[in-house]
A and B are shown apart, each in its own frame.
Chain A
Amino acid sequence: MVTKTEETQLNRLENQVDNGGGGAWDYLCLVRKLKVRRSQKVLKHGLSILNDPKQRSSLGADEWTLYEQVAVAAMDCQCLDVAKDCTKVLRKRFPDSKRVGRLEAMLFEAKGSWDLAEKAYASLLEDNPLDQVIHKRRVAMAKAQGNISVAIDWLNKYLETFMADHDAWRELAEIYVSLQMYKQAAFCYEELILSQPTVPLYHLAYADVLYTLGGLENLQTAKKYYASTIDLTGGKNTRALFGICLCASAITQLTKGKSKEEKEGSQLQSLAAKVLEKDYKQRAPDKLPQLTTALKSLTLSS
């Protein structure tokens, strides 16, 4: 995760580099450290360093890291010639490196020659079956080809061994949501909440999935998770506020006619509605009428 201070630092550096203020190498280092995806900038500034022999040699051993970084960025931008050149230089320097082998496989992948890439990855995995990056590349490749079910298979296999990798869980959850397999997605989001209990985004996504699943129990749980999202974000998350209103109205619809009425829930709903109205008044006054009609329809149906 990139924190706010890191992001502002990155943006400041990027601005500086873009306007010719120097510090390109520092910028590239920061991009690498934070693992953010700014391929075009990386390609531009990285190439300008690589094409200048004096600057390049002043990097020392870091030169090769830069070649790798630029190669990956070039693949991302579909500048395959650049990527090819970088990979060639690296291959010349490190004739039997696995890391360069990975780059070459990625180059195949970028070209779209899936079979060759698959073969290359498979042979790399044979040498080192625990290479996480290669496992992930395979998933990405399956996804790029549109074989979602294959991607799920790979991901599940990967998670069997590396079950503490929450990024993989997140990817799996998003894939399941896209396939409308909500029960599986809910499991993945539970796993994410377990690994990072204070990230409101996971609570929100879990609540969304539960609300979509429906049923009284799920709706009540969903409402609780919307509430926790509100608590964790300090009431600034509009989606969670809407979620509370929707859940409350759906719950009252389901429990209508039954004797046990839940009074405490209604208060949260009305509060959420009020906050929503206040927010809209401040930020989008022209949409306020729409909001009021929508909220009214929710309360009317109860």
Chain B
Amino acid sequence: MAEDLVLDTAIRDWVLIPLSVVMVLIGVLRYFVSKLMHSSQTPDAKIVKEGQVIVRARSLRAGANFIPSKAFRARKIYFCNEENGLLFVPKGQGQNPQAQMFSDPNMAMDMMKKNLSMIIPQTLTFAWVNFFFSGFVAAKIPFPLTQRFRSMLQNGIDLSTVDVSYVSSRSWYFLNLFGLRGLFSLILGEENAVDDTQRMMQMGGFGFDPSKGLSAEKDNLDITQHDWALPNFEHRAEAVLRKVIS
């Protein structure tokens, strides 16, 4: 490509700026919609209890050497016995999260709401951008870039001859989608920023299974050896007292 492309100022006025403004407005709107639909879900008693059991078992494992062996054994049995130990999960009772999700309408509802506030506006805006602005070269980056950036910056233009520093309108949309987080945290307050990338990550990690945590903790506790640390303390206390006297 010999001579530079000259971009019409009308593209700036009617593509670049409207696109950015619309993205910001949609972000703000989505924040308020999700706030409106947000339901404070009360945690399930069983899940809370399981979390607490895990915390307590963990501290038992960490501090095992600080209590007499009799006390430790009693607790170990209380946690780990095969009949009604707190950490013991009967086989087959560990629900898989999928089934749990369908059995609990609240959970499905929450998922729906999350999707409503996230995926629908996204697809809509994407379709809108595709329909109105496809094929525009909307902006030019003031520095040269290597060929690798072509797929990032020139999405929607299949021309290998265009210099990579030109940004297509669809790519401008993506840049806005992922890059407006800083602006949102300014507008909506620090913790309210709508972060699409993080949300997408959350979607992947959905469905944590507490019973797995329980059985893992049980295994850990099973192999914990008790080695009472207190007899050593007598010697250490002697040393401390000697130091105090001298």
Contacts and interface: CB of A to CB of B under 8 A. Distances in A.
Interface residues of B, number: 31
Contacts of B48: 130, 161-162
Interface in B98-152: none
Nearest to B64: A194
Nearest to B234: A227
A254 interface: no
A117 interface: no
Interface in B48-82: 48-49, 52-53, 55-56, 59-60, 62-64, 66-68, 71
A272 B231 contact: no
Nearest to B61: A194
Interface stretch (A16-24, A32-40, A229-237): A229-237
Contacts of B208: none
A165 B244 CA distance: 36
Interface string A212-248: 0000000001011111101100110000000010000
Contact of B68 (A164, A221, A244): A221
Chain A interface, >50% SS class = helix
Contact of A272 (B45, B55, B241, B243): B241
B2 interface: no
A268 B244 CA distance: 13
A275 to B, nearest CB: 5
A209 to B, nearest CB: 12
Contacts of B236: 227, 231
A233 B147 CA distance: 66
Contacts of B56: 163-164, 194-195
Contact of A268 (B62, B68, B238): B238
Nearest to A240: B237
Interface string A240-278: 000010000000000000000000110110011011001
B45 A161 contact: yes
Nearest to B43: A130
Given A130-B45, A227-B234, A271-B238, A193 B52 contact: no
B244 A278 contact: yes
A227 B63 contact: no
A224 B245 contact: no
A231 B237 contact: yes
Contacts of B93: none
A: contact size bracket: 35 or more
Contact of A194 (B43, B67, B241, B242): B67
Interface in B209-246: 230-231, 233-234, 236-238, 240-245
A235 B240 contact: yes
Nearest to A160: B49
Which residue among A195, A223, A274 has the maximum number of chain B CB atoms within 10 Å of its CB?
A195
Contacts of A226: 237
A165 B49 CA distance: 12
A224 B230 contact: yes
Nearest to A235: B244
Nearest to A203: B66
A190 interface: yes
A128 interface: yes
Contacts of A275: 241, 244-245
Nearest to A267: B238
Given A130-B45, A197-B66, A271-B242, A227 B237 contact: yes
A165 B45 CA distance: 15
B42 interface: yes
Q: Which 7 A-B pairs have the closest CB atoms?
A: A227-B237, A164-B55, A228-B233, A224-B230, A271-B241, A194-B63, A230-B237
14 contacts: A164-B59, A193-B66, A194-B67, A195-B59, A197-B62, A224-B230, A224-B231, A227-B230, A230-B240, A231-B240, A265-B234, A268-B237, A268-B238, A274-B245
